[in-house]
Amino acid sequence: MITGVTGQDGSYLAELLLDKGYEVIGVVRRTSHDSYERIGHLLDRLHVVAADLLDQHSLTTVIRDAKPAEVYNLAAQSFVPTSWNQPVLTGEFTALGVTRLLEAIRLAHPQARFYQASSSEMFGKAVETPQRESTPFYPRSPYGVAKAYGHWITVNYRESYGMFAVSGILFNHESPRRGLEFVTRKVSDAVARIKLGKAGELRLGNLDSGRDWGFAGDYVEAMWRMLQQPEPKDYVVGTGTMHTVRDLCAAAFSHVGLDWQKYVKIDPRFVRPAEVDTLLADASRARRELGWAPKVSFEQLVKMMVDADVERLA
């Protein structure tokens, strides 16, 4: 069972599990718009059920009815800037939603193995570099604070009830399916538009911030591996290389033969009240114990995203 199945990670994880022969149940939340763009090609192979992280009863019902062997909680309010505008809603989905789902499992099917999508945003104003499982959290946004809650409640249900509940502390992971508001996709989309003559500039905030960006398709493999371990444990997942937003711009524009400095403009609207300056993963535990390593490099990722947007917009 996957919550957030309509999102980037949900769609890649559903593909991975279907390829492994799983029966996959995708949990979707009712909305008035079509949210199936990332999983349209999977709909005839997925069981889609309706439930909402804000509604305890709906969660308990879907867990009780399906009795899933594995539950992946990938649903959240996941965009950092929105978390300042809607801090309470972010906490309801991203923090308390985890408790509701854990309660549903505890009451209806405690044998289920549970994966929580924790985030490198919990490290925030990082107290050490690189960040590993033992690095203390210092979140810098209501989103990061909510994810820290989700992380610790997962640890707590493991320790309180003996549940197989784990957190994957995933660093930024991107793909052609990334939402257009995130910086990588915003850049790849703008590069494609500029190349095709549909736009003339790209407005961004802080170009100095550094991230450990990997490919989402690689990261869902790590999620699955965490649930196949003999013992439930938390893992950091990232590439161990960092690039700045400036590096991202340079790589994306140069891939289509353009000079980024002619098109990128700084716009204070995209600067955040508090910034996470740099994030860099030490994923050695995941490498050692899960046998996991990323396959797609930063350069390959940027090219993949730009090419996909050029093709889509052409």
Q: Which residues bind ligand GDP (CB under 6 A)?
A: 80, 121, 172, 181-184, 186, 204-206, 209, 211, 245, 270, 272, 275-276
Instruction: Mark whether 121 is an active-site residue.
Output: yes
Instruction: Mark whether 119 is an active-site residue.
Output: yes
Determine the Cα–Cα distance for residues 89 and 129; give it in Å rounded to an integer: 31
Q: Among residues 80, 6, 17, 32, which one has the least CA distance to residue 275?
A: 80
- Annotated catalytic residue within 12, 70, 78, 121: 121
Neighbours of 202 (CB within 10 A): 20
Smaller CB distance to ligand GDP: residue 183 or 290? 183
Q: How far is the CB of 185 from ligand GDP (least distance, A)?
A: 8
Instruction: Mark whether 143 is an active-site residue.
Output: yes
Q: How far is the CB of 18 from ligand GDP (least distance, A)?
A: 27
- Annotated catalytic residue within 115, 143, 157, 235: 143
Residue 161 token pair:
């009830």
Smaller CB distance to ligand GDP: residue 81 or 110? 81
Q: How far is the CB of 186 from ligand GDP (least distance, A)?
A: 5
Q: How far is the CB of 59 from ligand GDP (least distance, A)?
A: 25
Determine the Cα–Cα distance for residues 232 and 289; give it in Å rounded to an integer: 12
Q: How far is the CB of 109 from ligand GDP (least distance, A)?
A: 32
- Annotated catalytic residue within 58, 78, 83, 119: 119
Cβ-based burial of 4 (10 A; exposed 0-12, middle 13-18, buried ≥19):
buried
Neighbours of 224 (CB within 10 A): 18
Smaller CB distance to ligand GDP: residue 72 or 213? 213
Q: Among residues 24, 53, 61, 77, which one has the least CA distance to residue 220?
A: 24
Neighbours of 288 (CB within 10 A): 10
Smaller CB distance to ligand GDP: residue 4 or 26? 4
Smaller CB distance to ligand GDP: residue 127 or 271? 271
Smaller CB distance to ligand GDP: residue 129 or 160? 129
Neighbours of 44 (CB within 10 A): 6
Residues counted in the chain: 314
Asked if 180 contacts 189 with a C-beta cutoff of 8 angstroms, the reply is yes
Q: How far is the CB of 275 from ligand GDP (least distance, A)?
A: 6
Give the DSSP per-residue string, 130-190. SB-TTSPP---SHHHHHHHHHHHHHHHHHHHH---EEEEEEPPEE-TTS-TTSHHHHHHHH
| Residues with catalytic function | 119, 121, 143
